[in-house]
């Protein structure tokens, strides 16, 4: 097993800012990008934290994602807006889109913002949590490069297309569900590949329907449309794989049909003639100001009671605890802040590569 070292949160946060700035990202945008990534590590979602930095580095170097771009509001009403991200960094575009949705919700009760021509924005849960911190409910969805095969299909057509929802509660943490509409996201396969581990059977199938478990080979075959992630529920209909497929399609529609954005295979950073072009991802953000419905404290109490009643459900034999969405992440953040972010040997090599290529100094003691 690859050796794990624990790097302080503030060290990785600072390094990510420097790495983004060194590639031409503005200081303000770099801080937003780094904050989204470190939030993922704090919440225990290793697939979308510091481990994704090389992913953005490679895309910027390849010219399919721009370090700077002007976010343009194409159309706006009192409660809605359409934004064109012009292929810039997805995190600051998404951050400002959610802020705009929240501003509209604060005034009118609801705010919906659609975004087109943008790029990967990190963990979807970051953005509805912005709303929850301000006494609102938030919902975020995004499409992504094709990796899920439709039920009975042999080729990836839909992205992992996550759905994230957050609501404030009277507990120490808000309710926050953040999940892909596939059984696993591509990032988990990347984590397994870096750690030299296989993925479980039932996550990925070949173009002939066979289970695949070799993580590095899966990543290679996914680029050739010869490997697909399975939707929630798995292959076929016996365990309701069509529900995950349907949810992924719902996210695709919300991410493209409100913005005239790209969808399915058109999201790729490759033109029909084989030349490289920017990615064209779409997002949708919704904010609901609770005070426009009922008093905030009443809503927080009800949400908290729902969470506590679920936690108090009689447990199966041998089980010690029932969790609600957001609870494990809350506890993980305390642990990671005290212990540091786990970094395996494969990830350390990636960080070293970027450190040296971007001529960043001062981190030799860590990687």
The encoded tokens of residue 77 equal 């009403």
Mean pLDDT of 38-43: 98
Predicted local distance difference test score (pLDDT) of residue 269: 65
Which of 295, 312, 329 is the last residue in one of the domains?
A: 312
Q: Please write the tens of the pLDDT for every residue from 57-86.
A: 999 999 889 999 889 999 999 999 999 999
CA distance 246 to 232: 10
Residue 328 within any structural domain of the chain: no
Residue 22 within any structural domain of the chain: yes
The domain containing residue 22 runs over which residues?
Answer: 1-62+337-367
290 and 359: one domain? no
Phi, psi of 321 (to 5 degrees): -155, 145
pLDDT of residue 258 exceeding 60: yes
Q: Please write the tens of the pLDDT for every residue from 303-362.
A: 999 999 999 999 999 999 999 999 999 999 999 999 999 999 989 999 999 999 999 999
33 and 148: one domain? no
113 and 168: one domain? yes
* CA distance to 30, 39, 293, 329, per residue, from 336 (Å): 22, 11, 37, 10
Q: How many domains does the chain have?
A: 3
Work out the angle between the directed axes of helices 327-339 and 27-42 (0-180°, nearest 10): 110
Q: Are strands 110-118 and 80-84 parallel, antiparallel or unpaired?
A: parallel
pLDDT of residue 134 exceeding 70: yes
81 and 114: one domain? yes
Residue scoring higher pLDDT (196 or 231): 231
Predicted local distance difference test score (pLDDT) of residue 194: 84
195 and 177: one domain? no
142 and 31: one domain? no
pLDDT of residue 118 exceeding 70: yes
Torsion sign across C-alpha atoms 150, 244, 179, 219: negative
Q: Please write the tens of the pLDDT for every residue from 269-312.
A: 667 677 778 889 999 999 999 999 999 999 999 999 999 999 99
1 falls in which pLDDT band (50, 70, 90)?
A: very low
288 and 357: one domain? no
Q: What CATH number does residue 367 fall under?
A: 1.10.1530.10
Predicted local distance difference test score (pLDDT) of residue 107: 98
Residue 212 within any structural domain of the chain: yes
Residue 264 within any structural domain of the chain: yes
185 falls in which pLDDT band (50, 70, 90)?
A: confident
Predicted local distance difference test score (pLDDT) of residue 21: 98
Predicted local distance difference test score (pLDDT) of residue 195: 85
153 and 105: one domain? yes
143 and 6: one domain? no
The sheet that has 72-76: what strands, in order across it? 72-76, 80-84, 110-118, 281-289, 136-142, 163-167, 175-179
Q: Please write the tens of the pLDDT for every residue from 243-252.
A: 999 999 999 9
Residue 282: name the closest of 75, 138, 87, 152 by CA: 87
Mean pLDDT of 27-34: 98
Q: What CATH number does residue 178 fall under?
A: 3.30.1370.60
168 and 88: one domain? yes
CA terminus-to-terminus distance, the chain: 18
The encoded tokens of residue 6 equal 């624990």
Residue 329 within any structural domain of the chain: no
77 and 45: one domain? no
Mean pLDDT of the chain: 95
Residue 164 within any structural domain of the chain: yes
β strands within the chain, DSSP E: 5-7, 72-76, 80-84, 110-118, 136-142, 163-167, 175-179, 204-206, 211-212, 227-229, 281-289, 341-343
24 and 74: one domain? no
Residue 55: name the closest of 347, 366, 356, 367 by CA: 347
Residue 89 within any structural domain of the chain: yes
CA distance 166 to 57: 30
Residue 322 within any structural domain of the chain: no
């Amino acid at each position: 097993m690859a050796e794990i070292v624990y790097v302080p949160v503030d060290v990785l946060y600072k390094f990510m800012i420097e790495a983004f700035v060194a590639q031409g990202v503005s200081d303000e945008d770099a801080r937003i990008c780094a904050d989204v990534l470190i939030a993922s590590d704090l919440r225990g979602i290793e697939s979308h934290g510091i481990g994704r930095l090389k992913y953005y580095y490679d895309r910027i170097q390849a010219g399919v994602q721009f370090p700077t771009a002007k976010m343009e509001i194409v159309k706006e009403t009192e409660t809605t807006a359409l934004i064109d991200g012009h292929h810039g960094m997805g995190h600051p575009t998404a951050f400002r889109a959610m802020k705009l949705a929240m501003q509209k919700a604060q005034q009118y009760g609801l705010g919906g913002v659609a975004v087109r021509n943008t790029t990967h924005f990190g963990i979807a849960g970051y953005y509805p949590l912005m709303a929850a911190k301000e006494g609102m409910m938030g919902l975020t969805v995004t499409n992504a490069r094709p990796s899920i095969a439709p039920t009975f299909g042999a080729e990836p057509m839909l992205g992992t297309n996550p759905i994230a929802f957050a609501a404030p509660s009277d507990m120490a943490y808000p309710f926050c569900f953040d999940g892909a509409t596939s059984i696993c996201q591509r990032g988990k396969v990347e984590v397994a590949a870096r750690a030299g581990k296989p993925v479980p059977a039932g996550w990925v199938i070949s173009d002939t329907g066979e289970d695949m478990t070799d993580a590095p080979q899966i990543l290679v075959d996914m680029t050739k449309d010869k490997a697909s992630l399975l939707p929630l529920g798995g292959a076929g209909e016996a365990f309701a794989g069509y529900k995950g497929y349907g949810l992924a399609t719902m996210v695709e529609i919300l991410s493209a049909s409100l913005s005239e954005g790209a969808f399915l295979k058109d999201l790729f950073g490759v033109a029909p003639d084989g030349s490289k072009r920017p990615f064209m991802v779409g997002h949708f953000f919704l904010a609901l100001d609770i005070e426009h419905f009922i008093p905030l404290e009443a809503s927080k109490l009800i949400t908290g009671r729902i969470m506590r009643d679920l936690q108090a459900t009689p447990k199966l034999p041998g089980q010690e605890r029932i969790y609600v969405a957001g609870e494990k992440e809350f506890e993980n953040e305390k642990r990671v802040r005290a212990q540091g972010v786990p970094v395996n040997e494969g990830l350390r090599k990636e960080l070293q590569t970027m450190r040296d290529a971007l001529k960043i100094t001062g981190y030799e003691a860590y990687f």
